[in-house]
Amino acid sequence: MKVLVATEKPFASIAIRQIRQVVEAAGYEFSLLENYSDPSQVNAAVEDADALIVRSDKVTSMILDAGKKLKVVVRAGAGYDNLDLESCTAHNVVAMNTPGQNSNAVAELVFELILFQIRCGFTGKTGFELRTKTIGLHGFGNVGKYVADISKGFGMDIYSYDPFVSERIMKNNSSKQITNLDELYKKCQFISLHLPFNDITKKSVGYDLLRLMPQNAVLVNTARKEVIDEDGLLRIFEERPDFCYLADVEPDCKKVFEEKYKGRYIFTAKKMGAQTEEANINAGVAAARQVVDYFKTGNEKFRVNK
Ligand code: 3PG
């Protein structure tokens, strides 16, 4: 069996060493393609692979066509909007993710962005504090829980909206449940997005929600750029000079921000949420173990396609 790790954005080398160990200890061959510049390189590398491990790399039907021996694809991470699930099913390929493994890293980035912004980029200007401020978690999965945890440490008042999570779970994580999304945006000066990107969430955060946020509103997006309606975001920026947007994903309209809204936004250069050694090790090793487990026992616990 050959296990290919194909990542345009490389894992830390310590993570690669540990992934390799898991694969080789199972008696399989390890193969690595990282930092590639063209998806056609994945097509070539996947030809004789039985398993493929990726990060945000797109797994298209072209790649699945090329990987004639592929049986399993694991997205080392949470969001699997980069996998063509229908095509995986059509190619008889099991698709999995590794939920929760990089969540703390993403949650810490939320605060790294917020703290830099509210202290005015450490320029010497007067900023403001987090204690007693309201934070709204739009989505309360693994990352949302860690964000709630950190928010508690800062003495913030925490509210969460997630139709799939019970009040009890939110309460156990120091958060009050909000069942009406408008209410969340109305109440919270800080909103942190933790919803997946899919057909339902696409462009679901726009003007009608953002206009409800209180003065000195800060919207943090460590989820996906596609959940934002950028026209609505630009409209709110035009109308509300107090509004800030901090994102781990550059918006398509980045140029407008650069021209008109200096100091009111932060966009990371590359998706940075999961870029810690710990997250790379956790997600990468989990992915390798899931591949091995699938081949040895048929375990499909983290399967995401039908
Ligand atoms: C995820 O969905 O797990 C995160 O967005 C991390 O993505 P990355 O592995 O491409 O950094």
- The tens digit of pLDDT for each residue in 72-101 reads 999 999 999 999 999 999 999 999 999 999
137 CA to centre of ligand 1 in angstroms: 19
Going by C-alpha positions, the residue among 80, 76, 78, 83 that lies closest to residue 103 is 78
Average pLDDT over every residue of 39-53: 97
User: What is the C-alpha end-to-end distance of the chain, expressed in Å?
Assistant: 24
| Ligand 1 pocket, residue 99 CB under 6 Å | no
- Look at residue 219 and give its three-state secondary structure: strand
Non-local (6+) Cβ contacts of 41 within 8 A are 33
The alpha carbon of residue 298 and the mean position of all alpha carbons in its chain are separated, in whole angstroms, by 27
- Start-end of H helices in the chain: 13-25, 40-45, 61-66, 85-90, 103-118, 142-153, 167-172, 181-187, 207-210, 230-239, 254-260, 277-297
229 CA to centre of ligand 1 in angstroms: 21
Residue range 235-251, pLDDT digits in tens: 999 999 999 999 998 99
Distance, in Å, from the CA atom of 216 to the CA atom of 244, rounded to the nearest integer, reads 8
Percentage, residues of the chain above pLDDT 90:
99
Pull the structure tokens for residue 81: 């909007």
Pull the structure tokens for residue 268: 């990371």
**pLDDT for 259:** 98
* Res. 255: pLDDT tops 90: yes
Q: Hey, what amino acid is at 232?
A: G
Identify which of 55, 75, 146, 198 to mutate to test ligand 1's pocket (most ligand atoms within 8 A of the CB): 55
| Ligand 1 pocket, residue 67 CB under 6 Å | no
273 CA to centre of ligand 1 in angstroms: 7
**pLDDT for 47:** 98
Strands of the sheet with 94-97, listed across from one edge = 29-34, 2-7, 51-54, 72-75, 94-97
Token pair 């070539």 in the structure block, residue? 44
Pull the structure tokens for residue 227: 């959940």
**pLDDT for 10:** 97
Question: pTM higher than 0.85 for the full model?
Answer: yes
